[in-house]
Amino acid sequence: MKTKDLILIALMCANMTLAAVAVVIHVGKAESAAVAATASRSGDYVMVSGPVSSSREGILVIDVVARRANLYMPKAVAGASAGIGWELMSSRNLAQDFAGGK
């Protein structure tokens, strides 16, 4: 073999080794999509805010474990400042609601 051929084989081996190391590092750090969604999750609740009527907004809290949805609205007190509290307006059992044909 010529020196040129040996250098070419050595460079090919070095490239293959670097590629293998890069793949191992990438696979080692990768998280599946299902795990990625739960890693930063601090509880089993989903909160959504939005308008309930033209003049009021509410917060819908879904308790995934208990399978319940609770609608909270700010207390309506004349002349009160912001942050006066919330009251439970409605609560639904999602297991029953989505049971359907059972």
Domain positions in the chain are 3-30, 43-97
Which pLDDT score, from 0 to 100, does residue 22 have? 87
6, with CB counted inside 10 A (0-12, 13-18, 19+), is exposed
> From the centroid of its chain, how far is CA 59?
18
**pLDDT band for position 96 (50/70/90)?**
confident
Does 62 score more than 80 pLDDT? yes
Average pLDDT over residues 71-96: 79
Please report the pLDDT score of residue 70 as a whole number.
92
Q: What is the pLDDT of residues 5-53, one digit of tens each?
A: 899 999 999 999 999 988 888 777 665 555 545 544 556 888 888 888 8
How high is the mean pLDDT of the chain?
79
Say what the pTM is. 0.50
